[in-house]
């Protein structure tokens, strides 16, 4: 089998069905399977999929893993990876939509790049503008500014410009340090070799850890503007409160710096956790519109 498409879903059954329909419509010249891991959705996702795609499920083109608990993103991805039969795997969010035969294009180019450990492509918002999905490696100073919400006001600082890759050219093929976990294309043997996704991360920062693991093995992470996929960003995450999101982001940040043995950064960021949560409450009280970290303009 050429490709296993692994999708972790939580309470976005309509968008998930749209994604699956687009995969079935546009993916040609590949033998592939779709593996959906549903994290205990309340919208009867697993039941709806079994009714809507009965033929594909019977033929094992679509496989459903219905968790009776929310396993988080990393663990659920690993559940899919464990049973994947493809030479290549693509991990993708459920709130996406194909508009062309993207996976064939990615596979054909990756086959010509033996040093590529991870590839991604151009992502578009619903309005067809480019979604930034490339970042630099996190540093203590960049994450300190983000923790204190200062990235909303000081994004021209060199550390933030580098982290958010403000001047990145999304029209050009490039080797990069880090890509968003919304769309990750790689060889299954490489994913297996690094042990899949690090389950110390429940949600957020697991993509950073994955990219670091790839780079540490001498492989490259490549951005390929050869195809486009629509990403209706954050539809699952929008169902959780700002407080919950902040807790998960902060927990991932602390896990990262501790795993990387940057203990000075870890303890300073740990000490600032109460400040971070106070700022989260204040932004809610004063109705400050949250800015996605994948959307940082160049002003």
In a domain, 297, yes or no: no
Contact between 284 and 242 under an 8 Å Cβ cutoff? The reply is yes
Q: What is the pLDDT at residue 57?
A: 94
Q: State both tokens at 267.
A: 């303890």
Q: What is the pLDDT at residue 260?
A: 92
In a domain, 45, yes or no: yes
Q: Please list the rounded mean pLDDT of every run of 10 residues in the chain (299 residues).
A: 97 95 98 97 92 94 95 97 98 97 97 95 96 97 94 87 96 97 97 97 94 96 98 66 81 96 95 91 69 50
d(CA 113, CA 116): 6
Q: Let me know whether 60 and 26 are in one domain.
A: yes
| Domain coverage including residue 258 | 140-167+240-287
Q: Let me know whether 154 and 212 are in one domain.
A: no
Domain boundary among 204, 221, 238: 238
Q: Let me know whether 58 and 160 are in one domain.
A: no
In a domain, 294, yes or no: no
Q: What is the pTM of this model?
A: 0.92
In a domain, 293, yes or no: no
Q: Let me know whether 45 and 148 are in one domain.
A: no
Q: Let me know whether 48 and 156 are in one domain.
A: no
Q: In total, how many domains does the chain have?
A: 2
Domain boundary among 238, 254, 274: 238
Q: Let me know whether 114 and 156 are in one domain.
A: no
Q: Let me know whether 183 and 270 are in one domain.
A: no
Contact between 19 and 99 under an 8 Å Cβ cutoff? The reply is no
Q: Let me know whether 144 and 207 are in one domain.
A: no
Degrees, nearest 5: CA angle 43-205-177: 125
Domain boundary among 238, 258, 273: 238
In a domain, 100, yes or no: yes
Would you give the DSSP letter of residue 53?
Answer: T
Alpha helices, DSSP H, located in 45-139: 45-52, 54-58, 73-83, 102-110
Q: Let me know whether 85 and 113 are in one domain.
A: yes
Q: Let me know whether 178 and 42 are in one domain.
A: yes
Q: Let me know whether 38 and 154 are in one domain.
A: no
Q: What is the CATH number of the domain that holds 108?
A: 3.90.550.10
In a domain, 49, yes or no: yes
In a domain, 52, yes or no: yes
Strands annotated E in the chain: 3-9, 32-39, 62-67, 88-92, 96-98, 116-124, 130-131, 134-135, 174-176, 178-179, 183-187, 220-231
Q: Let me know whether 211 and 234 are in one domain.
A: yes
Among the listed residues 98, 107, 134, the one whose alpha carbon sits nearest the alpha carbon of residue 208? 134
In a domain, 292, yes or no: no
């Amino acid at each position: 089998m050429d490709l296993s498409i692994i999708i972790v879903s939580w309470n976005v059954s309509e968008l998930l069905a749209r994604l699956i329909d687009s995969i079935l419509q546009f993916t040609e010249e590949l033998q592939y399977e779709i593996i959906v891991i549903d994290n205990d959705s309340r919208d009867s996702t697993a039941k709806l999929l079994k009714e809507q795609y009965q033929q594909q499920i019977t033929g094992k083109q679509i496989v459903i893993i219905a968790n009776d608990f929310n396993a988080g993103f990393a663990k659920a991805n690993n559940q899919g990876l464990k049973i994947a039969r493809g030479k290549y795997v693509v991990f993708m969010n459920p709130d996406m939509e194909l508009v062309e035969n993207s996976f064939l294009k990615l596979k054909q180019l990756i086959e010509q790049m033996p040093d590529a450990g991870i590839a991604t492509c151009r992502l578009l918002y619903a309005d067809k503008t480019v979604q930034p999905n490339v970042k630099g490696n996190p540093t203590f100073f960049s994450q300190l500014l983000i923790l204190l919400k200062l990235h909303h006001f000081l994004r021209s600082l060199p550390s933030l410009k580098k982290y958010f890759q403000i001047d990145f050219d999304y029209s050009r093929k490039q080797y990069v340090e880090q890509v968003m976990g919304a769309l990750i294309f790689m060889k299954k043997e490489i994913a297996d070799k690094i042990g899949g996704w690090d389950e110390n991360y429940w949600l957020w920062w697991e993509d950073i850890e994955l990219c670091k693991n790839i780079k540490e093995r001498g492989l490259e992470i490549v951005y390929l503007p050869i195809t486009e996929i629509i990403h209706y960003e954050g539809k699952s995450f929008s169902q959780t409160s700002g407080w919950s999101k902040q807790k998960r982001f902060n927990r991932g940040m602390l896990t990262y710096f501790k795993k990387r043995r940057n203990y000075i950064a870890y303890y300073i960021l740990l000490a600032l956790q109460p400040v971070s949560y106070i700022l989260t409450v204040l932004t809610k009280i004063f109705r400050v519109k949250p800015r996605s970290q994948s959307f940082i303009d160049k002003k």
